[in-house]
Each structure stands twice: as structure tokens, then as C-alpha cells.
Amino acid sequence: MIRVTEQESKYHDIDQMSVLEILKGINEEDKLVPQAVEKAIPQIEKLATAVAERMADGGRLFYIGAGTSGRLGVVDASECPPTFGVPFDWVVGIIAGGDTAIRKAVENAEDDVDQAWIDLQEYNINAKDSLIGLAASGTTPYVVSGLNTARSKGILTGCIVCNEGGPIAAESDFPVEVVVGPEFLTGSTRMKSGTAQKLVLNMLSTTVMIRLGRVKGNKMVDMQLTNHKLVDRGTQMVMDELHIDYDHAAELLLRYGSVRKAVEASRANDNK
């Protein structure tokens, strides 16, 4: 296994650079990320297809990771309910060290080979579910052990990593390996590697939710109405779909609680 994520930056003496030089250097490296993600699309397709099939049959999606990778999994999981109106236990993000580690690094959490399965058991993970390991290095012990145990119990496994051929990929039925190259700041995988993982997570969860019918046309018809902006957005959707005025659309939306339910109820009443 070649640890590309740990290779030395091609930029030298960055501590002597001007602000403009630093920003341009980071930007030049960031431009490489979408290209690396594009190369991994066949792998992402296989993982998204498998996860969607499991979830359509009643399964859930779990992410596990440490540090930046774990935080990105928590972010993606937490955004699915408001965006797609799914239950909060449909997509679950677990980070080594627990919720404390979201804000503050927890010493040695990523090296604990027993804790991942303990954390997963709190959610009664089972063979219907899918587990995706997130780790830029592809070697994090917490993630490796979690995937290993899950796989032995018939749980579908996948990963999003930024090195090829590591132990996490070996424990994954559907590995996604996005090799973005050395970081601008040597070894700082919160940069290009983190960006790559975020892009893949966006692609994965959005694709899965579309396949599960949580989107109509190109609209988030099941989004939760948690603020004035989203109520206004939902009202506009109802207006466009039913060809009615704003006030009527808003009344329907607030009565039924979602764009989908408002539109379906209105059409059902019209057909009576």
C-alpha cells in the first residue's frame, strides 16, 4: 500500500509564501479533487446501487470514521432528515470518541479496535443495514475493526478512502478509493482528502434518496419546514405544481406539513 496522503507536499517553504501565493497553491490542489472523484464514479455507482437496494428493503445506512472523516459522516447523516424528510435513524453517523469528538479531538479514539462495534450495537445494527467506513488513510483501526465485525455478520460494507489497497478497502464489499494526491500542507487530510470525501458523500446520499423516491422531478418535496426560508421554498413548489396563488399554496403546505402531502391532498380533493 502506498500512503499517498502522507507524501510530501510539492510546495516547499510555504511558511515563506505570501497570502496570495498560499491561496493560489491551495486552489491549484483543490482543482484536482473533482478529477479524482470522477475516476471513482464506477465504484460510487456500485456502492450507491447496493445501499439503495438495502434501504428499499428496510435497511439503514451507517457511517463510521474518526477525525475529519468521522465529522463529515455525521454532517451527511444529520442533513438527510431535513433535506429528504426521512426518519433520523435512517442514516446514522458515528465518530470515534463519541459526540465530544465532533468539536474536540479525543485522544487515541481512532486506535480503539473494540469500540466501533460497541458503538454500532447501540443502534441494533443488523444484516439489513449498510456500513460505510470513512478514512482518508484507509487504515484507521477503529474503522477497520468495525467493518470487519459488520461484514462477518452479513452487513453490507463500503468505504470512502483516499489511498488505494488499504485494510479498510479490503474489508469493504464496495470500496470507493479517491486518490487525490499529496496535500498542499503535508499530511493535512482535512484538505483535499476531506473535500473528496464530502463530494462523494453528497453524491452517495443524494443518489440513494432519489432512488428511494424522496425527490420528485428536481425538487425536495419531503424536506422539513424548519425555518421561514424553507416554508417559502416549499410554498413556491406547491404554487408551481398546482398553479395556485401564494397564499393558497402556503395554507396547504402548512396544513399538510410537506410539499408532497400538500400536492397529493389537493389533487385527491379535486378528483372527488
* CATH code at 4-212: 3.40.50.10490
Q: Which residues are catalytic?
A: 79, 110
The structural domains of the chain, with segments of one domain joined by +, span 4-212, 228-271
Integer distance in angstroms from the first to the last C-alpha of the chain? Answer: 65
Q: How far is CA 199 from the centre of its chain?
A: 8
pLDDT of residue 272: 66
Residue from 53, 60, 32, 44 nearest 200 by CA: 44
d(C-alpha 142, C-alpha 136), whole Å? 13
Return the amino acid letter for 228. H
| Angle at CA of residue 141, ends 139 and 142, nearest 5° | 125
User: What is this structure's pTM?
Assistant: 0.93
Q: For the chain of 272 residues, list the mean pLDDT of each consecutive stretch of 10.
A: 93 97 98 98 98 97 97 97 95 96 91 94 97 97 97 97 97 98 97 98 98 94 93 95 93 93 88 70
- Measured CA to CA in angstroms, residue 242 lies from 246, 247, 272 at distances of 11, 13, 16
pLDDT of residue 269: 82
